[in-house]
Structure 1
Amino acid sequence: MTRHGLQTTHRSVPSPAGRIHLAEQGTGPLVLLIHGFPESWYSWRHQLPALAAAGYRAVAIDVRGYGRSSKPAATDAYRMLDLVADNVAVVHALGEESAVVIGHDWGAGIAATSALLRPEVFRAVGLLSVPYTPPGGPRPSSAFAQMGGDEEFYVSYFQEPGRAEAEIEPDVRGWLAGFYAALSADTMPAAGAPDPHFVSRGGTLRDRFPSGRTPGWLGERDLDFYAAEFERTGLTGALNRYRNMDRDWEDLAAFEGAPLTQPSVFIGGGMDASTTWLAEAIDAYPVTLPGLVASHILDGCGHWIQQERPAQVNRILTDWLAALPR
């Protein structure tokens, strides 16, 4: 695959998962890109050529459970500690000692935890859509169970193995199109409409997705790519990330309240619930992200930030990277 005249190289490298598939462009300091749910290395298709053109070795992975990376069978093989170990293995397999790590959605949490646990490997961290919140606080399953009143928060809905899969897998392409539309600025439900982050008792997430509306950033070829990946792999590996939140809470207890001290950048969407619900986490950045270089909220932008606003995100990231000590 080529974009903007640059060749994207695909290969797999060994990791504790078995193998991690990656897409790579460019030469220079390593920048590792971590996607979220339900996505792919392909979510960084606009960033790979931009970072390569700016003088970086840009590498976007398929997180374990996704795409062409290994998909361990055990649910507890998707805990945060294992994903951090995968990222370290990728850096070393590429012949590097350190990297800048940038993540979106769940990838932001994976990137932040990688930087927290292995600061000697991850020298700077970029977070898209989901703000940094230090480990600690109430047990996640208990906190999410209290949200929504008579409705069920989507994270709770995802907990039971097989339940969400039964909704999604009979029509992967249609479900993905609806999920992407529900969280995109130009197609999300109007204010006051039923919130697509919640499920009515006995209902499904899809009940609240916009019907027949496609986000401007999502071309038919893009949707075809995502759908083909999940039609091949199923959704269990991806959903297992949500099924390890209590394990992560236990695993990371020793890091309760710990700040991320490396140079960092945050980019959020002004219309993204991940940003607005966690406004207090952003306000706490002077304490939790003492190395923060810049925090950007993109007006009128939804959740799929690097795909909705690729040029703006690329400019922010390349400016931030250029200011980092090499």
Structure 2
Amino acid sequence: MSQHPVNELTHRLIPSPAGRLHVVEQGSGPLVLLVHGFPESWYSWRHQMPALAAAGYRAAAVDVRGYGRSSRPAATDAYRMRELVADNVAVVEALGERTAVVVGHDWGSTIAANSALIRPDVFRAVALLSVPYAPRGGPRPSTVFASMGGDQEFYVSYFQEPGRAEAEIEPDVRGWLAGFYAALSADTMPAPGAPDPHFVGPGGTLRDRFPAGRLPGWLSEEDLDVYAGEFERTGLSGALARYRNMDRDWEDLADHDGAPLTQPSLFIGGGLDASTTWMADAIDAFPTTLPGLSSSHVLDGCGHWLQQERPAQTNRILTDWLGSLPETAC
């Protein structure tokens, strides 16, 4: 019998530089590490884990530090990218493996890319969902974001001020999450020409531009309960700290300026996702920045939460790609 039967989820807490990390496993075989984005959790991979296990892989979905049952260090700079890469390495080692394939969505995509960049000895292949790889470079990030939107404020800048977004979100975590998820989902996002929910108007909040009254098709009331329950318990500061380290990351990663990711790689984006459309130049640059790219997919009519909006399609692309990887490093 396999160590982790295909139909069984195994929860464990493992030691890490953060203190502890919560990891959920399913299946056995070559290790595939799944890294979520904002504002999510290991649960974002609930559709992928059984498919990966059935295909002969050991799927391990982590709660990134600051989320869920993982540790939430108090210091903002504890959430810099190098620390998150160290967490991923700690997971691989704690699970008794030397190497893994790393798959990330949203912020998890950036964490996955940097894990592969900084520790190519551990991460033998990388799949990036929603957010394409863009090498470190250019001006300081906060300077770039501050110049966007004219009299409107870009959401990243809004998130960077400690306490500000928390004051908006935490009085009604469930309602805020429902609106945020809906704003970036294909079937509930604002119509073209409506005020953009990625920006805050003068004196306003992000929530002012969220759609209200209908959950996206991929999100049940029970799913929303899982996400809301976690953030009601933990608060949002740990999750938002990722945005508050972008300038530190820019400084920390200066020795990787312009560096390509050379491992076998995969990209999946949503055709209606701003992460894909705003970063079209990054996708165009893949022949240079991702020389090991196996394939790049933009899912027509799909929003930001693609592995939840299009689970069957995402699972097929992922398992086909995993099956094409060299076996030598398994």
Q: TM-score by structure 2 length?
A: 0.97
* Residue in structure 2 matched with residue 13 of structure 1 by the alignment: 14
Q: Distance in 1 between matches of 2:95 and 2:136?
A: 29
Deviations 1:243-266 (A, max 9, x none): 000000000001000000000000
* Residue in structure 2 matched with residue 318 of structure 1 by the alignment: 319
Please state how far the C-alpha of 1:136 moved relative to its aligned partner.
1.3
User: Could you tell me which amino acid in structure 2 is paired with residue 42 of structure 1?
Assistant: Y
User: After TM superposition, which residue ranges in structure 1, 4 or more long, deviate above 3 angstroms?
Assistant: none
Please state how far the C-alpha of 1:201 moved relative to its aligned partner.
1.2
* Residue in structure 1 matched with residue 128 of structure 2 by the alignment: 127
User: Could you tell me which amino acid in structure 1 is paired with residue 50 of structure 2?
Assistant: P
* Residue in structure 2 matched with residue 69 of structure 1 by the alignment: 70
Please state how far the C-alpha of 1:18 moved relative to its aligned partner.
0.3
Q: Distance in 1 between matches of 2:26 and 2:170?
A: 32
Please state how far the C-alpha of 1:5 moved relative to its aligned partner.
7.0
Q: Determine if the alignment matches structure 1 residue 238 to structure 2 residue 239.
A: yes
User: Could you tell me which amino acid in structure 2 is paired with residue 124 of structure 1?
Assistant: A
Deviations 1:81-112 (A, max 9, x none): 00000000000000000000000000000000
Matches within 5 A, 1:5-154: 6-154=7-155
Instruction: Structure 2: give runs of 5+ residues left out of the alignment.
Output: none
Deviations 1:215-274 (A, max 9, x none): 000001100000000000000000000000000000000100000000000000000000
User: Could you tell me which amino acid in structure 2 is paired with residue 287 of structure 1?
Assistant: T
* Residue in structure 2 matched with residue 281 of structure 1 by the alignment: 282
Q: Distance in 2 between matches of 1:52 and 1:313?
A: 15
SS in 1 for 2:160: coil
User: Could you tell me which amino acid in structure 2 is paired with residue 252 of structure 1?
Assistant: L
Identity rate of aligned residues, in percent?
A: 81
Q: Distance in 2 between matches of 1:309 and 1:210?
A: 21
Q: Distance in 2 between matches of 1:220 and 1:211?
A: 14
Q: Distance in 2 between matches of 1:11 and 1:211?
A: 37
The answer to whether the 8 A contact 2:180-2:207 is kept is yes
Instruction: Structure 1: give runs of 5+ residues left out of the alignment.
Output: none
Q: Distance in 2 between matches of 1:271 and 1:160?
A: 28
Q: CA 1:244/1:51 → structure 2, altered by over 3 Å: closer, same or farther?
A: same
SS in 1 for 2:307: helix
Q: Distance in 2 between matches of 1:201 and 1:93?
A: 47
Q: Distance in 1 between matches of 2:309 and 2:229?
A: 21
Deviations 1:34-72 (A, max 9, x none): 000000000000000000000000000000000000000
Please state how far the C-alpha of 1:137 moved relative to its aligned partner.
1.1
The answer to whether the 8 A contact 2:260-2:288 is kept is yes
Q: Distance in 1 between matches of 2:16 and 2:6?
A: 30
Please state how far the C-alpha of 1:213 moved relative to its aligned partner.
1.7
The answer to whether the 8 A contact 2:6-2:53 is kept is no
User: Could you tell me which amino acid in structure 2 is paired with residue 274 of structure 1?
Assistant: S
Q: Distance in 2 between matches of 1:235 and 1:284?
A: 34
Q: Distance in 2 between matches of 1:225 and 1:138?
A: 38
The answer to whether the 8 A contact 2:128-2:268 is kept is yes
The answer to whether the 8 A contact 2:6-2:26 is kept is no
The answer to whether the 8 A contact 2:33-2:102 is kept is yes
* Residue in structure 1 matched with residue 158 of structure 2 by the alignment: 157
User: Could you tell me which amino acid in structure 2 is paired with residue 205 of structure 1?
Assistant: L
Q: CA 1:167/1:255 → structure 2, altered by over 3 Å: closer, same or farther?
A: same
Q: Distance in 2 between matches of 1:305 and 1:189?
A: 17
Deviations 1:111-156 (A, max 9, x none): 0000000000000000000000001111000000000000000000
Alignment RMSD = 0.8
Q: Paired residues, what number? A: 323
Q: TM-score by structure 1 length?
A: 0.98
The answer to whether the 8 A contact 2:116-2:124 is kept is yes
* Residue in structure 1 matched with residue 303 of structure 2 by the alignment: 302
Q: Distance in 2 between matches of 1:107 and 1:245?
A: 14
* Residue in structure 2 matched with residue 195 of structure 1 by the alignment: 196
Please state how far the C-alpha of 1:211 moved relative to its aligned partner.
1.1
User: Could you tell me which amino acid in structure 1 is paired with residue 311 of structure 2?
Assistant: P
Matches within 5 A, 1:262-281: 262-281=263-282
